[in-house]
Structure 1
Amino acid sequence: MILLSRRSLLAIAAVVDVALHARPTPVAAKLLAQRHNLPPRHLETVLQALVRQGILKGVRGPRGGYELARERRKITAGDVVRAAMTATGEDGLPPLPESKLVDDVVGPAVKEAGESFLGALDAYTIEDLCQQAEQKAVFGGPPPALDFAI
């Protein structure tokens, strides 16, 4: 059973994808969407939320796209999910329906469980997920060697 929203799963996948493919040039949203069989517009709100939260950096121009805003070992899956939740407003909604039972008993229990869940996701860095993706060759093999000769 997966407890994350589809948008949160997509956000984690997008950040790992960018971490794996953003060198030497940023990853275009169009290519990112293509690799995940999605329409490009479907990713835009998630990518923008990730930029606003300082996880991704948007690069403008003809060779623009997205790259990590900080080191992949310093970004956790929990950070990415929290950013994705801000894109949909999931994190600030009051519990529904409004009742004393929900407000005093069920709501706090669910909030505590959610915080524990996000805490568990904080144990996984983007670096960890990138290493797993490379070991399992999810994109078809090892990344091409970079040549820095000019």
Structure 2
Amino acid sequence: MTPPEETGQGITAEAPVAPPAVSLCLQTMRHRPEFLRAASARRQGTGGFLLQARDRKDDAPHVQVGFTASKKIGNAVFRNRAKRRLREVARAVLPGLAQPGWDYVLVARPGATVDRPFALLLADLEAALRAVHAPRSR
């Protein structure tokens, strides 16, 4: 954190803090086959959405992310609102916790994604990513 700066009137103001450097390239999924491949892999449910994740097993340094909201969410206004909220959650959390070479799909949940507090959505994605990437015991 940077030290406070003098504003000239005896009031100190916090100097702006630069966002963390992102070394991860996020790409958005656009085609149905990409979504279907991610849907057939690991799933982790949360209170606000369902996370589907798939290891592509390639050396590409990028992460693909997709967002979906079915008509069960509501009309177009609610579906778009749900996807906007999921996009913001992904922008905030994925650069820090996502792993290169993985695909992630966030699926909106009826009655939850739109109404759930944003802070809880952030916590949901963090917990879901940790669970997906935790070593599996078999």
The bucket for the TM-score relative to the shorter chain is under 0.3
TM-score, scaled to structure 1: 0.26
TM-score, scaled to structure 2: 0.27
Q: Which has the higher strand share?
A: 2
Q: Which has the higher helix share?
A: 1
